Amino acid sequence: MARKRDYIAVPQMLPARPPGFFSRIRRKAFGWSMILLGIAGLLLPILNGTFFLMVGLYVLKDDYAWAGRTIAWIRRKFPKQAASMDRGQARAETYLKRTRRAVRRYYAQLRR
């Protein structure tokens, strides 16, 4: 009996497709709107400006190097809040996965 080799059992993964032009524009527009809303929230007592600023920075960190550096600085300066941001990011990712899965199921049912 032939021995199964480990390197054959590993599936070949295709590289991730880069996001399209319009999805990048949407992401940048959302990030900048969150940053503007955060700046307004710092001036107005009604809104929580830091929350919106952090969401905007997290959205823009892949597109702009200064956003990534700012997040790294915040992580060094405020480690307790950085842990809270990580938990929030993990919760948001699980929520988005569930929502995408539900939308795919819905469209699959529509096609039948």
Q: What is the pLDDT of residues 48-57, one digit of tens each?
A: 888 889 889 9
Q: What is the pLDDT of residues 74-112, one digit of tens each?
A: 899 998 888 888 888 888 888 888 988 888 888 888 877
Q: What is the pLDDT, as a whole number, of residue 66?
A: 93
Q: What is the pLDDT, as a whole number, of residue 18?
A: 76
pTM equals 0.66
The C-alpha atoms of residue 4 and residue 26 are separated, in whole angstroms, by: 47
The C-alpha atoms of residue 96 and residue 26 are separated, in whole angstroms, by: 16
Least Cα distance to 58 among 80, 31, 39 occurs for: 31
Which residue is it, tokens 């990580």?
Answer: 86
